Structure 1
């Protein structure tokens, strides 16, 4: 499990994927989310702008990430 530190909340899902270099670009992040390849808290998420909070869990390509405030 990888921990992603966020400095404020909420943060849009696609921005986390982009800024943490989980995907190559914001466009790619939006595409992967729209394709249903990203799960949040165990459920497939297709909303690119889903508001993410500390404690939320992301799964993408069999990797798991947890969001935390500093």
Structure 2
């Protein structure tokens, strides 16, 4: 399992896809987000504007990530 660190109070699913190199740009995320199998906290979700907060679990095509705060000890 990978831990994703962030600096603001939330990150959008589209931004997360870019940071994890599933897409190269926001425009690409807009067009390709429906091609991925995505669950947020156990529920299917493919809204690129979905806000992800500390503690959220995201599974993309079987790869699990946990959103964490950069100040948190891992």
Q: Same fold (TM over 0.5)?
A: yes
Alignment partners' CA distance in 2, 1:63 and 1:35: 15
Q: Give the equivalent residue in structure 1 for 2:4.
A: 4
Gap runs ≥5 in structure 1: none
Q: Give the equivalent residue in structure 1 for 2:13.
A: 13
Gap runs ≥5 in structure 2: none
Alignment partners' CA distance in 2, 1:42 and 1:31: 23
Output the aligned Cα RMSD. 1.8
Q: Which moved more, 1:19-28 or 1:52-61?
A: 19-28
Q: TM-score, normalised by structure 1?
A: 0.81
Q: TM-score, normalised by structure 2?
A: 0.77
Q: Pick closer, same or farther for the CA change 1:20–1:42 going to 2, 3 Å.
A: same
| Matched length | 70
| Structure index of larger Rg | 2
